[in-house]
Structure 1
């Protein structure tokens, strides 16, 4: 894949990066090098190599959903600044 100076300038404009003509040519060469490395990876034969991990291989660890109240009402209510019976009491906010 070839990357010309016009494309590099357009990418810089879209990224809101101001580049001089000299910088455009510098980044063009650097990006060409990166694209060359990616092209080298595409040449590697991976037909018999299984994937190391992926969404198709990973199984989520599930547990049954059990609804409980925790059986610790008194511990929870002991943290309340004020309570009435088994309920929190809060200041009235609506007149």
Structure 2
């Protein structure tokens, strides 16, 4: 797929990019090459390829899901200026 210089200018305008006239032709060629490569990749046969989350067949070592801190909610709310039903009360800032 080849892009015209006018299409490159239009994309640059939509992206709010300043594009010099001498750059448009070079960018048209480079973007066309990228689109050709994407088209080539989309033609690859992937029907028999199973989806994978990672290219290497490895398991990630995860830390155990264990509580590391004690619940100190009461201590924190005891020093708060205003608390109601376990929630911190703050002044209204939006009218």
Q: TM-score range by the shorter chain?
A: 0.5 to 0.7
- Structure with higher RCO (Cα < 8 A, 6+ apart): 2
Q: Which residue in the other structure is 1:67 paired with?
A: none
CA distance in 2, matches of 1:38, 1:26: 19
Q: Which whole-Å deviations, capped at 9, do the CAs of 1:27-83 have from their partners, x for residues lacking one?
A: 111101111110110221111112225xxxxxxxxxxxxxxxxxx99971475138x
**Structure 1 unpaired stretches of 5+:** 54-71
Counterpart for residue 41 of structure 2: 41
Aligned residues: 67
The unaligned stretches of length 5 or more in structure 2 are 54-69
Show structure 1 runs of 4+ deviating over 2 A: 72-75
RMSD: 3.2
Q: Calculate the TM-score normalised by the size of structure 2.
A: 0.55
